[in-house]
Structure 1
Amino acid sequence: MTEKPTSRILTQEDLDVFLQSKTLDALLEFVLALRDACKGRVNSFDCGESNAVTATLQLLEDIEKLTIAHSAVSNEKSRFGNPAFRDFYDDLDAKLPSLLESSYPSLSNDEVVELRTYLLESFGNRTRIDYGSGHELNFMCFLLCLFRLDVFDESDYTRLVLHVFNRYIALMRTIQSQYWLEPAGSHGVWGLDDYHFLPFLFGASQLVGHKYLRPRSIHDSEIVEMYAKEYMYLGAINFINSVKTASLRWSSPMLDDISGVKTWDKVSEGMVKMYKAEVLGKVPIMQHFMFGKILPIGPLPSESLSEEDKSTSHDGHVHGEGVFGDCCGIKVPSAIAASTLSHNGELRSVRPIPFD
């Protein structure tokens, strides 16, 4: 019987087991290999083509077409997520099996089921209409699964960052802007960015050794705009600047602090340490991590608890104590929504307004 990957981490003890697992090792090895593959390379770097990467790019194009079919509904009086996102999500859920089968015809039905689960969760949460670094992590899992299934190989690493991941980020910005997805916990005041982490990790590696651009260059708006299309890090800063008027010191103080680091090498290494600690090392984020046959995990401590003990753990759902995690805690309105609403509630073109 075909089974979908499921979330199994409930406690810190469960997470501790995962942090010592082969699946975590494989995930980190994959992320680091991708980071190294894009080191010193701009987004337009000519890294050739491969059939698997071309198929994946077409898959993302087909998904973007669904956003056109499901335009946002009138929601001018709310800065929270647009309910049309659920229509997009349901349509995507229904179409993904056929999209995946046509993109990767060599895969079995069971493998398609696993891939579908990771890819669907890469676009946000249907109920909360939000998105965060945990959803972004699902896209990495999707790519890692394809690598483990021999759809991709090591020669695709550079393409996976500069072409596929970059295309995914562009699609997510479309979805975030169209449906006003709410930040899933780790928004700019507490994390790097309202939504993403990996564009900064990969983006810092791209900038290693650059002759002129320095970490402090993110404060020069002209430089940011000039190089936003070539470097993920600056592209992410440019997107933040497009929806927030407050300086990075206020809207994204962590990025402001990081800009004081002298070299991109140190920023790159720091991003890896931060990713391990603030994403992979947090229960509120990793409780949503899904395990299946391709990305397995053995028995976890919480699975030996009695039903009574499990029922006292928020029905198997953990919230961070005093810390915002990628979870479903306090609803945070979309800064994108704020930037597209005028004072009288009428929509206008995207322009930054004071929000933070």
Structure 2
Amino acid sequence: MGLTKKIISPTDLRQWASSIAYSEILNLINSVNNKLISQPIQNNLVYSKAISLVCEVLDKLQQAVSDYPPEEQPQRFGNKSFRRWFTWLQENAISLCSIIFHDHGTTDFSDPPISYTEALEEVAGYLTESVGNSIRIDYGTGHELAFLAFLTCLFKIKILQTQKTDPDSSTANDLLAVGLIIMPKYLTLVRLLQTTYRMSPAGSHGVWCLDDFQFVPFIWGSSQLIGCQKYDPTVISDREVAEREKDNYLLFSCIAYIY
């Protein structure tokens, strides 16, 4: 059962904004945001096996790009080889996501009540939607939202967890790793796709006056800088600072990518 587009009118949008799914995705954004306060990206961060498996899948998506090099073509934007890579993803999304489901066997998920097959298909669907549009060869915040839905599903079926059984465990909370491990890896993937296949920003003008493909890393990145004594808001447009700190803070990563 594939995903079906449901938001096609202003009425649909109002219904979406009052839905449980909307609240759950917003809760994920806020929960990760709270965990990221004053937390730079850490190379030595210890994280759960589930986080490692999500990273493994994102790595496989990135590695597959080399199998579909861009074509020589006159168009400035939208290299058609992206469609070949995207077709590969569509054909392999189920098997890729089954890697993430590895420790759960093929048992159904009881909370919420959903079969293993349904859960796998939905998670794979959101992952596929999170990398861009194969017809327009563009990428925007709607695709970023699909990735947030992908992560929200993993939390709902308890593959990713906000609290594990051992509260003292260094891997007791996957929320921090979503912000510091998963999001940087996802950004690396989609930026590779954007540059390799010359994808245009969905809507052509970026999002909400931000000259970028993304939105959420600006939110989470600003949370990382709360309490930071080293920088104040005046350095946001400083190219040298962005280049120096792009591997430590999501916001500076976004600014460096714009430059």
TM, length-normalised to structure 2: 0.88
Residue 7 in 1 paired to residue 5 in 2? yes
Partner residue of 1:205?
Answer: 223
1:161-188 per-residue CA deviation (whole Å, 9 max, x = no partner) reads 1101110001111110100011101634
Partner residue of 1:58?
Answer: 56
Residue 88 in 1 paired to residue 96 in 2? no
Residue type at the aligned position of 2:182: V
Deviation at 1:16, TM superposition (A): 1.2
For residues 189 and 230 of structure 1, what CA distance do their matches in structure 2 show?
Answer: 23
Aligned counterpart for 2:140 among listed residues 125, 132, 139: 132
For residues 111 and 99 of structure 1, what CA distance do their matches in structure 2 show?
Answer: 13
Partner residue of 1:49?
Answer: 47
Contact 1:132 1:186 in 2 (8 A): no
Q: Which runs of 4+ in 1 moved over 4 A?
A: none
Partner residue of 2:119?
Answer: 111
Partner residue of 1:29?
Answer: 27
Task: Provide closer, same or farther for how the CA distance between residues 190 and 148 of structure 1 changes in structure 2, counting only shifts above 3 A.
Answer: closer
1:114-155 per-residue CA deviation (whole Å, 9 max, x = no partner) reads 011100010000100000000000000000000001001111
For residues 91 and 120 of structure 1, what CA distance do their matches in structure 2 show?
Answer: 10
Length, aligned pairs only? 238
Residue 161 in 1 paired to residue 179 in 2? yes
Residue type at the aligned position of 2:59: E
Residue type at the aligned position of 1:38: L
Note the 1:1-356 alignment, pairs <5 A: 3-44=1-42, 46-75=44-73, 77-105=74-102, 106=104, 108-154=116-162, 155-185=173-203, 187-188=205-206, 191-241=209-259
For residues 49 and 207 of structure 2, what CA distance do their matches in structure 1 show?
Answer: 41
For residues 160 and 211 of structure 2, what CA distance do their matches in structure 1 show?
Answer: 29
Deviation at 1:190, TM superposition (A): 5.2
Partner residue of 1:293?
Answer: none
Deviation at 1:25, TM superposition (A): 1.1
Deviation at 1:45, TM superposition (A): 6.0
Q: Which runs of 5+ in 2 are unaligned?
A: 107-115, 163-172
Residue type at the aligned position of 1:56: V
Partner residue of 1:334?
Answer: none
Contact 1:81 1:182 in 2 (8 A): yes
**SS at 2:130 equivalent:** helix
For residues 141 and 190 of structure 1, what CA distance do their matches in structure 2 show?
Answer: 21
Residue type at the aligned position of 1:7: K
Contact 1:81 1:130 in 2 (8 A): yes
1:9-30 per-residue CA deviation (whole Å, 9 max, x = no partner) reads 2221221122112211111111
Deviation at 1:4, TM superposition (A): 2.1
Task: Provide closer, same or farther for how the CA distance between residues 186 and 98 of structure 1 changes in structure 2, counting only shifts above 3 A.
Answer: same
For residues 48 and 205 of structure 2, what CA distance do their matches in structure 1 show?
Answer: 36
Residue type at the aligned position of 1:157: L
For residues 53 and 22 of structure 2, what CA distance do their matches in structure 1 show?
Answer: 27
Q: Which runs of 5+ in 1 are unaligned?
A: 242-356
Residue type at the aligned position of 1:72: P
Greater C-alpha radius of gyration: 1
Residue type at the aligned position of 2:22: L
For residues 98 and 46 of structure 2, what CA distance do their matches in structure 1 show?
Answer: 24
**SS at 1:211 equivalent:** coil
**SS at 2:236 equivalent:** helix
Q: CA RMSD in A?
A: 1.4
For residues 207 and 33 of structure 2, what CA distance do their matches in structure 1 show?
Answer: 25
Deviation at 1:223, TM superposition (A): 1.4
For residues 17 and 135 of structure 1, what CA distance do their matches in structure 2 show?
Answer: 20
